[in-house]
Amino acid sequence: MFRICVIGCGNMSQSGHGPSFAKYRADYPDVSLAACCDLDGEKARAYRDRFGFAQYYTDYRQMLDEIRPDVVSLISPVDLTCPLAVDIMKRGYDIIMEKPPGKNRAEIEIMDSVAKQYGVNVRCAFNRRYTPLIEALVRRVRASGERLINITYQLYRWHRYDRDFSTTAIHAVDAVKYIAGSDYDTVHLTYDHHPECGENVKNIFLDGTFENGAVFQITLIPLGGAVTERVTVNTVNHSFFVDLPMWENIDVPGRLVEVTDSNHCETVMGDTLVDSTEMFEVSGFYNENRLFFEHLRGGSNEIVNDLQSAVQSVEIEDCIRHSLPLYKKDASR
Ligand SMILES: NC(=O)c1ccc[n+]([C@@H]2O[C@H](COP(=O)([O-])OP(=O)(O)OC[C@H]3O[C@@H](n4cnc5c(N)ncnc54)[C@H](O)[C@@H]3O)[C@@H](O)[C@H]2O)c1
């Protein structure tokens, strides 16, 4: 049996991951949803009942000692991700952790060094990387064989008065880097502060260049009155337009439109890429979990650790948190 344990039964765990675990268990009978844990026992119990876990705990150390799982899914508050991940990895467990994998460069480097020291597999759960429409976009951009010119990413939310929107902004930063297939070189950051809406509430605008020569613009509007994420990509002779399905937003089930210089247009609807229009599938949560679990169950000796691929995203997240105006790639990396 491949035993899965979950730490953190809060909002994201209930909406994105719980349904993914339940589907994975339904798809693979040799999988056991062994136990879930939350400091709030009532939440943990309800999560166990809703998604079919065998047991629940309020102390994750006790859970790990008693269950000795094959993988741990960590879906904790951002401030706790690094200390909890370090403790879990030091106990020798493979781990998939919700984004952001740390609040700054120091935290991600600490986790990376512990992962290497203890020889564990680590996956950063950046669900945009596993969103079927983004996977299709990346495939088509690469298949064009053309030079990448420009990427734009617009992320809007409504009623997000967070003091720290950087932990959501990192989705766009990481997705754009993933689509570019290159490291950021230089990022200019500007802010439109709205103190009347709360401390550190601001619209955020990023633009700059990648090492491969492509340019980008990212627009982040926490008080946009809409929940949307829209991407455009230009290569020399193609334009790609993606409207991502987000929760129950206006773009569900999402679509990708590819237009060539002869004005030939091809449209892919999001619900043609997956079995269902359920959010946990169209938004990539199922795939990010499934692919990691498949690797662990496949018996390969190759260690998966994608923390280094997230270092720049975390560094830029930290720039946004502190309203810094410029990010330059560390030349020593
Ligand atoms: N991928 C996405 O689109 C997305 C969206 C929102 C949030 N997130 C990420 O998901 C994570 C959780 O966010 P959330 O909104 O669900 O938060 P949340 O506060 O709703 O849930 C976190 C849960 O962790 C529990 N917890 C805290 N310390 C614990 C411990 N030591 N042991 C066991 N349980 C503990 C809390 O009691 C809480 O129930 C964050 O890392 C966040 O960045 C991802």
What pLDDT is attached to residue 248?
A: 82
Q: Is the CB of 103 under 6 A from ligand 1?
A: no
Other CB atoms within 10 A of residue 192 CB: 10
Q: Sketch the domain layout of the chain as residue ranges.
A: 2-126+285-305, 129-279+313-328
What pLDDT is attached to residue 202?
A: 97
Which of the residues in the chain have pLDDT under 50?
Answer: none
What's the CA gap between 70 and 297, in Å, rounded? 9
In terms of phi and psi (left: phi > 0; alpha: psi -120 to 50; beta: otherwise), the region of 255 is beta
Nearest to 75 by CA among 27, 121, 39: 39
What pLDDT is attached to residue 76?
A: 98
Q: Is the CB of 244 under 6 A from ligand 1?
A: no
**CATH architecture, domain 2-126+285-305:** 3-Layer(aba) Sandwich (3.40)
Q: Is the CB of 229 under 6 A from ligand 1?
A: no
Kindly report the protein residue whose alpha carbon is nearest to atom 33 of ligand 1.
Answer: 38
What pLDDT is attached to residue 299?
A: 85
Kindly report the protein residue whose alpha carbon is nearest to atom 21 of ligand 1.
Answer: 10
Atom of ligand 1 nearest to the CA of 97: 41
What pLDDT is attached to residue 132?
A: 96
Atom of ligand 1 nearest to the CA of 59: 32
What pLDDT is attached to residue 263?
A: 84
CATH no., domain 129-279+313-328: 3.30.360.10
What's the CA gap between 125 and 130, in Å, rounded? 9
What pLDDT is attached to residue 331?
A: 79
Nearest to 192 by CA among 227, 226, 165, 229: 165
330 CA → ligand 1 middle, Å: 31
Same fold, 2-126+285-305 and 129-279+313-328: no
Reported pTM: 0.97
What are 191's two structure tokens? 């802010």
Q: What is the pLDDT of residues 140-178, one digit of tens each?
A: 999 999 999 999 999 999 999 999 999 999 999 999 999
Atom of ligand 1 nearest to the CA of 80: 28
To test the ligand 1 pocket, which listed residue (7, 9, 11, 36) has its Cβ within 8 A of the most ligand atoms? 11
42 CA → ligand 1 middle, Å: 15
38 CA → ligand 1 middle, Å: 10
Instruction: State CA 162 to chain mean position distance.
Output: 19
332 CA → ligand 1 middle, Å: 34
Q: Which amino acid is at 74?
A: L
Q: Which amino acid is at 189?
A: L
Q: Is the CB of 5 under 6 A from ligand 1?
A: no
Mean pLDDT, rounded, of the chain: 96
Q: Which amino acid is at 320?
A: I
Atom of ligand 1 nearest to the CA of 44: 39
265: helix, coil or strand?
strand
What's the CA gap between 96 and 141, in Å, rounded? 28
123 CA → ligand 1 middle, Å: 16
What pLDDT is attached to residue 169?
A: 98
Kindly report the protein residue whose alpha carbon is nearest to atom 4 of ligand 1.
Answer: 12
User: Alpha-carbon Rg of the chain, whole angstroms?
Assistant: 20
109 CA → ligand 1 middle, Å: 21
To test the ligand 1 pocket, which listed residue (60, 75, 167, 247) has its Cβ within 8 A of the most ligand atoms? 75
Q: Is the CB of 12 under 6 A from ligand 1?
A: yes
What pLDDT is attached to residue 247?
A: 80
